[in-house]
Structure 1
């Protein structure tokens, strides 16, 4: 039994991310992609959410470009690359060789000095519980090779 059950919030993943304050850009991306209702739904989901600082590392203009209506499919694909079905603690994720993302492309998982990385993004805050899943903050926006 995971200890994570003690930290489950009554807020859904979208509201949990918003309340944290580190994931404002991620929240805007979810809205632009039209994924808010899904991520407020029953789930459960595990989100590897890039922090606002991670989004700031993207090349200039890339995020604005992704937010354009004509690029919605690309944005959805990118966000789905940060999403895994089910409620997975960081202890669970650390045992994997790769995460099976909703995008369909596996994201490689590595453990270094007891720190978990997903496709090169270090998990900086783990096991943020919500009513419909769990959120792990990461320090990089992962870009799938197939968008």
Structure 2
């Protein structure tokens, strides 16, 4: 296998792996939603810190226990520090908490975007490497033909 062919395969493997990871993350979000939906508790939470990828919240469950989930709240987009929000959590695991009204559907566009952008980059690179490999193979073939003629 030539260098360009090896590189082309590596590009395709990396693109497939990134796509698979994006799908796995989405499936994880679906699993979290199912867990919350099967044993839902509700509360009002205070946003302690807000970010686009992670927001820390604190809320009190009906048994009087204060929870501050280590991984933050699921689907944190648009939250601001100090805001009070309604949350849903899994009563069996209060650290699994999401903003009320949000679910894995909000992850569809980011997941799809990652997959599309990955393949928009990988496809032309793969085509270029295939052409480069074909040109190298043709040059090698021409060199062999010249050697046979001598």
Give the TM interval when normalised to the shorter protein: under 0.3
Question: So what's the TM-score if we normalise by structure 1?
Answer: 0.23
Larger relative contact order, structure 1 or 2 (CA cutoff 8 Å, min sep 6): 1
Judging by fraction of residues, say which structure has more strand.
1
* Structure showing greater Rg: 2
